[in-house]
Amino acid sequence: MATKFLLQDSRYKTTTLKKHLIQHLIISGSSSIADIAKELQLSIPTVTKFVSELMNDNYILDLGKQNTPGGRKPNIYGLNPNAGYFVGVDVEVKKVLLATIDFCGNVIDEGYVVRYNLEDTEEAFDRLCEIVQDYIHQLEIDTSKVLQVGINLGGRVNPKTGFSYSFFHFDDKPLTEKIEKRIGIPVNLENDSRAMMYGEFLAGVVKNEKNILFININWGLGAGIIIDGKPYYGKSGFSGEVGHVCALDNEIICNCGKKGCLETEASGYAIERMSHERKAQGCTSILWDMMEEHGEFLLSDFVEAVLREDVLAIEIVEHIGFVLGRWVAGLINLLNPEMVILGGPLSATQDYLRLPVQSAIRKYSLNLVNQDTQLVVSKLGIRGGLIGACMLSRSRLLGMI
């Protein structure tokens, strides 16, 4: 069966070279045998043989003659979209979102959302496995061709070993192994901010930039880093914990148990706390009606209040933008990125958030360094994590990351 080759051990040289060939077609879209040979530095007969074998296994398709004016027209080859599928699972605090991409990276199913309570319990783990299984069963594709399931979780995650330390770390087995046992499909685990960043990198706001800093402003605050076109993980996959940098001299206890973390002043939790403080002071805002209507404080309500030009909500987003921007300025000095992306739910406030961040960057970073950096808002928005989970799953199976 076609799927076996990709799951085969990459120590076989032929397997590695075939994976490189598929990677090249992912990046280029389609290519001639001569172009593949040049890119992979292989001989024409070798590439012809690999192409023929990959066509027999249904991984790639002959797309016919290239339509170019004049000269010889070589045959071009591209990936077969139906060679395999990748499921993405974005686990959020109150819901799980699922989607599927085909082998070419096209989203073929999206919009499946299930209410869920993310808690560090056996019951929540069982429920998550059930949700993934139910989703795969209802897909209108040959589900035996689902090659991998990519799952995003918040907190400390080690994608290389498959361990999650913030959720479902009940014994000494990797979480990926436990889920694989339940659903019968290989699993790739990723930190939520890094998955969002990867979604933007392959299918969002990033064009050709290769050095990128992504900031996820959600209930918590996280970051993802791409260096020379590859996600940067650090030793154990814990890079990007910018929310827990000790940045402030305050007395607010953070979710991590320490105090003074950046997240205590620049995150959804901070917004909720500041809103309640302002309400207690007697300030007016359309937020209070929204909170009463929904019975709780929702980030989506806060974003709506900003976009409806609620003065209090704008003041709060300006404050967190400036606090955040001061630290982004430091990260720009450190990394010299080409692009900084503001992502996560609060990035939907667009320029209300971007402008104070930009202002703080101008004020606090080195002028020569920040001239290299574009500050942009995420294009995929709240879809970013889900698309990233699918894309990361494919990239990891193919050895691209």
Of 108 and 256, the one with the shorter C-beta distance to Zn ion is 256
Q: Is 380 within 8 Å of 81 (Cβ atoms)? A: no
Report d(CA 225, CA 378) in Å as an integer: 14
Which residues inside 101-160 make contact with Zn ion, applying CB under 5 A?
none
Helix, strand, coil share of the chain (percent; to 5): 45, 20, 30
Identity of the residue, 198 or 327, whose beta carbon is nearer to Zn ion in the bound complex: 327
Min dist CB 191 to Zn ion, Å, is 15
Shortest distance in whole angstroms from residue 104 CB to Zn ion: 40
Q: How far is the CB of 222 from Zn ion (least distance, A)?
A: 11
The least CB distance from residue 259 to Zn ion, in Å, is 8
> Nearest approach, Cβ of 219 to Zn ion (angstroms)?
13
Contact in structure between 340 and 215 (CB atoms under 8 Å): yes
Q: Which of 175, 254, 298, 382 binds Zn ion (CB under 5 A)?
A: 254
One character per residue 297-336, x = contact with Zn ion (rule: CB under 5 A): ----------------------------------------
**CB closer to Zn ion, 246 vs 334:** 246
CB of 157 to Zn ion, least distance (A): 17
Is residue 266 near Zn ion by the rule CB under 5 A?
A: no
The rounded Cα 379 to chain-centroid distance in angstroms is: 12
Nearest to 338 by CA among 376, 372, 362, 379: 372
Give the shortest CB-154-to-Zn ion separation in angstroms.
13
- Whether the CB-CB separation of 98 and 135 falls below 8 Å is answered with yes
Which is nearer to Zn ion, 261 or 342 (by Cβ)? 261
8-state DSSP, 160: T
262 binds Zn ion (CB under 5 A): no
Question: Euclidean distance between the first and final Cα of the chain, in Å?
Answer: 25
Cβ contact 278:319 at 8 Å: no
The dihedrals phi and psi of 265, each to the nearest 5 degrees, come to -120, -10
Structure tokens of 285?
A: 């805002």
Binding mask 233-252 for Zn ion (x = CB under 5 A): -----------x--------
Q: Which stretch binds Zn ion (CB under 5 A): 37-45, 253-261, 284-292, 326-334?
A: 253-261
Using rule CB under 5 A, residue 36 touches Zn ion:
no
Quick check: 256 binds Zn ion (CB under 5 A)? yes
303-317 CB burial, b ≥16 within 10 A, e <16: bbbbeeebebbbebb
- Which 3 state secondary structure label does DSSP give 20? helix
- Residues in contact with Zn ion, counted by CB under 5 A, come to a total of 4
For Zn ion, the binding residues (CB under 5 A) are 244, 254, 256, 261
